[in-house]
């Protein structure tokens, strides 16, 4: 029996491993990229485009950790989904030891206003994309007898329920839970773990001040979740081989309170 890797901040527990962070240049993904860099992992950070924002992240990681990450620019929504088959992103997924998929477009509309393009977007990029990346990563992970996969579900999608303004998005994100359980059930014997975080409302640069204020009021503690708190939890899930198939509500109890109403 091998000892499980335990995450302790600052320890180089993933030295010699390659981590691919999809959607890793901003928001939650950016903080996870920073946290993984501190574990010693060689990073491939995906973002929609190369910019001062992505360059700044690469510089920050290089200065702090002395390990310069590679940045992969690919606008996933700008080309047909079929183009992923021969894309650099899929090639990187086939080689990685650690896969984090933080990318996923949000659609908030009642069903009678949800268009064909809305359905296509959530089905392809909130469910099929993480599925495709997982499928691409698994063969190498099986060969190496090591793999760590972290996906992101939607707020309040820990179990089947109704949604009044984002049913299409929530349906796709609920499918991620099936993917997580399936990977855990079939590939644990190869040293592969797959878990998901279902975050509540997280404070990122993508929210306006008005949105931050409105969403803070909905949270049990009256404050948004910090990206640094989420990233620490992500590293714990990735590092501990005993945690497998977990779908973690990370929302201060918000989803539990909703179910009581």
Selection from 62, 5, 7 nearest residue 33 by Cα: 62
Q: What is the pLDDT of residue 8?
A: 61
Return the CA Rg of the chain: 18
Q: What is the pLDDT of residue 257?
A: 74
> pLDDT for 33-57, tens place per residue?
999 999 999 999 999 999 999 999 9
Plot region of 144 (φ>0 → left; ψ -120 to 50 → alpha; else → beta): alpha
Selection from 150, 52, 149, 129 nearest residue 87 by Cα: 129
Rounded to whole angstroms, the Cα distance separating 130 from 177 reads: 11
What average pLDDT score do residues 150-174 get? 83
Cα distances (angstroms) measured from residue 127 to each of 153, 164, 172 = 9, 20, 5
Q: pLDDT tier at 197 (50, 70, 90 boundaries)? A: very high
Is residue 84 over pLDDT 90?
Answer: yes
What average pLDDT score do residues 197-225 get? 91
Rounded to whole angstroms, the Cα distance separating 6 from 2 reads: 12
Q: pLDDT tier at 201 (50, 70, 90 boundaries)? A: confident
Q: What is the pLDDT of residue 155?
A: 76
Selection from 103, 168, 154 nearest residue 129 by Cα: 103
Q: What is the pLDDT of residue 1?
A: 34
Q: Strand (E) positions, 48-141?
A: 70-73, 98-101
For residues 25 and 71, the answer to whether their CB atoms sit within 8 Å is yes
Structure tokens at 80: 């047909």
> pLDDT for 87-97, tens place per residue?
999 999 999 99
Q: What is the pLDDT of residue 11?
A: 75
For residues 53 and 25, the answer to whether their CB atoms sit within 8 Å is yes
What is the reported pTM? 0.92
What average pLDDT score do residues 77-86 get? 95
Give me the chain's average pLDDT, please: 91
Q: What is the pLDDT of residue 259?
A: 61
Q: What is the pLDDT of residue 243?
A: 97
Rounded to whole angstroms, the Cα distance separating 152 from 104 reads: 8
Q: What is the pLDDT of residue 107?
A: 92
Selection from 258, 158, 251, 241 nearest residue 193 by Cα: 241
Rounded to whole angstroms, the Cα distance separating 169 from 150 reads: 19
- Dihedral pair phi/psi, residue 100, rounded to 5°: -120, 120
Structure tokens at 163: 């949604």
3-state DSSP helix/strand/coil percent for the chain, to nearest 5? 50, 15, 35
């Amino acid at each position: 029996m091998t000892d499980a890797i335990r995450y302790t901040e600052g320890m180089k527990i993933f030295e010699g491993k390659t981590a691919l962070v999809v959607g890793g240049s901003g928001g939650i993904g950016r903080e996870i990229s920073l946290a993984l860099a501190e574990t010693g992992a060689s990073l491939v950070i995906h973002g929609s485009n190369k910019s001062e924002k992505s360059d700044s992240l690469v510089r920050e990681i290089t200065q702090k950790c002395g390990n310069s990450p590679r940045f992969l620019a690919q606008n996933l929504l700008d080309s047909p989904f079929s183009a992923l088959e021969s894309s650099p992103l899929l090639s990187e997924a086939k080689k990685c030891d650690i896969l984090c998929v933080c990318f996923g477009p949000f659609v908030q509309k009642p069903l009678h206003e949800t268009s064909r393009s809305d359905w296509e977007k959530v089905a392809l990029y909130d469910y099929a994309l993480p599925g495709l990346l997982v499928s691409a990563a698994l063969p190498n992970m099986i060969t190496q007898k090591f793999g760590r996969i972290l996906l992101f579900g939607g707020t309040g999608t820990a179990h089947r329920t109704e949604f009044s303004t984002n049913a299409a998005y929530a349906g796709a994100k609920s499918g991620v839970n099936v993917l997580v359980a399936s990977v855990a059930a079939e590939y644990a014997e190869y040293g592969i773990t797959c878990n998901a975080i279902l975050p509540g409302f997280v404070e990122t640069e993508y929210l306006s001040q008005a949105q931050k204020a409105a969403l803070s009021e909905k949270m049990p503690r009256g404050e948004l979740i910090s990206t640094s708190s989420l990233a620490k939890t992500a590293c714990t899930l990735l590092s501990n081989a005993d945690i497998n198939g977990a779908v973690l509500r990370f929302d201060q109890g918000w989803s539990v309170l909703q179910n009581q109403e």
